[in-house]
Amino acid sequence: VTVIFEEWVIWGMSDRANLGRDFYPSVLKANLAAFLVGGGIGAAIMLPERLRSPNFLVDILRSLHSVSLG
């Protein structure tokens, strides 16, 4: 599904007159858009579940503490 979305965004962002010369900026913009949409959907799904977890902040603080000491 994301490949179809990405190709549609590339098609929409590319300038039809300069398709060969200015193709890479459109590809990079489309990859960024697909990444942000996919990440936003994933965050919207997971964040409420993580916040309902009883030890959510404790686990984060422990992992940060172990990384800073490690």
* Amino acid, res. 16: R
Q: What pLDDT sits at residue 41? A: 94
- CA 60, distance to chain mean position in Å, is 21
* Amino acid, res. 31: N
Q: Is the pLDDT at 18 greater than 60, yes or no?
A: no
Q: What are phi and psi of 17, to 5 degrees?
A: -75, -35
Q: What is the pLDDT of residues 52-63, one digit of tens each?
A: 888 777 877 888
Q: What pLDDT sits at residue 42? A: 93
Q: What is the pLDDT of residues 33-42, one digit of tens each?
A: 888 998 999 9
User: Structural domain boundaries of the chain?
Assistant: 2-69
Contact 9, 34 (CB under 8 A): yes
pTM of the shown model: 0.50
Whole-angstrom CA distances from 55 to 51, 63, 66 are 9, 12, 16
